[in-house]
Amino acid sequence: GTPEPIKFPERGITNKNISITELRNSFNLSAVPQIAGLENFILETDGGVSVNENFAYSFYDWIGYLSCGIDDIWMLKRELNGIKGEMTVLSRKGFINPTSILEDVQFFKNLVSSGKSPWAVINVWGFEDSPVSWNANPHGYLFGGENDYAIVLLPKGDLVIYVAVGTLDTYS
């Protein structure tokens, strides 16, 4: 059949049978990345500016490890200039609409700009085989549709956005 657009409410849950679980964990980590700002993610050379791939990939791995509850991430300590420290992780599970994520971005942006946190990450893992993929494109046999991404909020209002898509996913 033809996919129909999904209408999300302004705020909240679309069905009372779907619940959102919220968890708060504090970790004492062996390697908390020291991020001063966007300069950690870029390399300046005589030829211009490029992505610091070693740092960028290591940091995305670090986000994934922590999201899975793995708190002893010593193997990335050197790549991320990590130091021993404490970190709070807030996580939610369930059907979370785009408006909620935008509100979270604003909340953490304010937290970082106020100096209460040196940086923050919003990491989103979508549902496997989601019926709708990026930009309201339909899910298909070879398309994941999970819509996995991470938004890194840095000082000075800078953002780094990671987007994980399958080879055949349509993204725009």
User: What DSSP designation does 75 have?
Assistant: G
Burial profile 74-89: b = 16 or more Cβ within 10 angstroms, e = fewer: eebbebbebeeeeeee
Q: Is residue 88 within 8 Å of 24, Cβ to Cβ?
A: yes
Q: Is residue 119 within 8 Å of 152, Cβ to Cβ?
A: yes
Residue 98 in tokens: 């785009």
pTM of the entire structure? 0.76
The per-residue DSSP string of 13-54 comes to -S-TT---EEEEEEEEEEEE----SGGGTEEEETTEEEE-HH
Q: Residue 158 and residue 40: Cα distance in Å, rounded?
A: 12
* pLDDT for res 143: 62
* pLDDT for res 146: 67
* pLDDT for res 79: 75
- How confident is the prediction along the chain (172 residues), in pLDDT tens digits per residue? 455 555 544 544 444 444 556 666 676 777 788 888 888 898 888 888 888 898 898 889 888 888 887 766 766 777 787 788 887 888 887 777 778 888 889 999 998 999 888 899 999 887 766 666 666 666 655 665 667 889 999 998 999 999 887 676 665 4
Residue 78 in tokens: 């050197």
* pLDDT for res 2: 59
